[in-house]
Structure 1
Amino acid sequence: MVYTKKILAFFKALDLSVKLPKGVEVMNPYQNEVAFHLCEQFYGKYYNDTFQRTFILGINPGRFGAGLTGIPFTDPLKLEEECKIENNLTKKRELSADFIYEMIAAFGGKEKFYHKFYFGSVSPLGFIRDGKNLNYYDDPKLQKAVLPFVIETLEKQINFGLNRDVAYCLGEGKNFKFLSKLNEAHGFFNKLIPLAHPRFIMQYKRKSMLHYVDDYLTKLSDPASFIS
């Protein structure tokens, strides 16, 4: 079965029905017909084959990117301008998406990149509290509540046929620490390589963006050099 069908079936079945800490809301764009149709177009365009991909894992979707489009690190603007998929969503920029599409261009373009890699997140559904993005690890109660969901959804995505030799983690701090412990316990991947998170780069290291693009390209192209 081609990746497109596996990915869309996974999205369609996503449901987080656990008790969350007070004030925490879940973002599930896949229950929205508009967002799901955009996913059908995107994954139909770039993943309609059986070629093995390598997993790149972010934290969890944000309000202006995957929380709207359903596609990790792709905001409505990038979806239309870069991927040529028209949409009527509010054209707000997501900082992480800005970096990712700069990196993808440097890698050789969308077709080449998405033929080799699959973006996901430790939690494939995002969270909001007080109208702002909330990372799964920002609240210990939230992290504990979503742990079974995280494990289950990681296993389901790996079973698409993703590369188990190596995967990449976006975020060199809390996200990497959490995912590394999970990987030690469950053996998802033989090796896990951290990359600086796009949001961190764009918010705090923007002047060094090209350095980080080069770092991504080096590690994505030659993972063996960074595996101890």
Structure 2
Amino acid sequence: METFADRAIPYYLRQTEPDHLPPGVSALNPYRQPEVQSIVNQFYTRFFNDNNRRVYILGINPGRFGAGVSGISFTTPQNLQRYCGIENNLPPTPELSSRFIYQIVEAFGGAEAFYGRFFLTSLYPLALVKNGKNYNFYDDKATTAALWPDIISSVRQQLTFGCDRNIAVCLGRKNEAFFQKLNQQHGFFSRIVTLDHPRYILQYRSRDVDAYVDKYVTTLGECIAL
């Protein structure tokens, strides 16, 4: 019987860069690299080699220093090794979101316990950049329009891995408007709850990080209790 890992791994390894982005916007595709392909196989085989249904936690699109390098959502190469036990030769990267996310992972008892209940992912699977900086699919209307069909296809494919469709968690208040629109159009989830994005928390609300950790843990706990 196919597992969550069996369905997820090919999805990532088949990713290709879009050829219809507006001028100046480009996508990073780490899945072309043999080491990232190996990481993806190790990560999903280790943590998703079952048929458990998971609550999906969806961000916008990856950052260039997280999944844009490692291929694993919200995970820097160093956190991949430290918290997931997957050694790699990728260069360490600075990524605020990953730092916060792994506080949440640890609060749930570590990577095995966390990933046994949750799937961290994004509406669009590849990191976007413009002028060498992180870019979001909603940062301009032309990019949103260009990627919207791909986003629909991306979410639809990810649902087949092993999704609890009763509820999904949206990361980011601005992301929420687009996720809700997508869900209204296609009925992917019965309900969406939104949490502030990890980057926003550490960049603008770092004094309140403990309260945000508590909020995440409480909200995610309620999601898996449904």
| TM bucket normalised to smaller | over 0.9
Distance 1:208 1:177 in 2: 25
Task: For residue 126 of structure 1, report the CA deviation from its aligned partner.
Answer: 1.4
Distance apart, 1:17 and its partner CA: 3.3
Task: Encode CA deviations 1:123-145: one digit per residue, 9 max, x unaligned.
Answer: 11111111111000011100000
Deviant stretches of 4+, over 6 Å: none
**Distance (whole Å) between structure 1 residues aligned to residue 170 and residue 112 of structure 2:** 22
The amino acid that maps onto 2:189 is F
- Hey, what's the Cα distance between the residues in 2 that align with 1:223 and 1:153? 23
- What is the alpha-carbon distance in structure 1 between the residues aligned to residue 109 and residue 92 of structure 2? 25
Counterpart in the other structure of 1:209? 209
* Aligned residue identity for 2:194: P
Q: Is the 1:63–1:133 contact (alpha carbons within 8 Å) kept by the matching residues of 2?
A: yes
Q: % of aligned pairs identical? A: 42
In 2, Cα distance between equivalents of 1:161 and 1:110: 18
Task: Give the equivalent residue in structure 2 for 1:124.
Answer: 125
TM-score normalised per structure 1: 0.95
Please state whether the residue corresponding to 2:165 is helix, strand or coil.
coil
CA distance in 2 between partners of 1:15 and 1:44 (Å): 22
- Cα distance in structure 1, aligned partners of 2:29 and 2:4: 21
Post-superposition shift, 1:16?
Answer: 4.2
Q: Which residue of 1 aligns with 2:160?
A: 159
Report the number of matched residues.
225
Gaps (5+ residues) in structure 2? none
How do residues 177-216 of structure 1 correspond to structure 2 at under 5 angstroms?
177-216=177-216
Deviation per residue, 1:184-222 (Å, 9 max, x gap): 110000000001100000101111111011101111111
Contact 2:17 2:28 survives alignment (8 Å)? no
The question of whether the paired residues in 1 share the 8 Å contact of 2:18 and 2:27 is answered with: no
Q: Does the CA-based 8 Å contact 1:56-1:117 persist in structure 2?
A: yes
Q: Aligned AA for 2:43?
A: F
Residues in 1 aligned to 2:83 and 2:161: alpha-carbon distance in whole angstroms:
26
Please, what TM-score do these two structures have when normalized by structure 2?
0.96
Please give the secondary structure, in 2, of the residue aligned with 1:60: coil
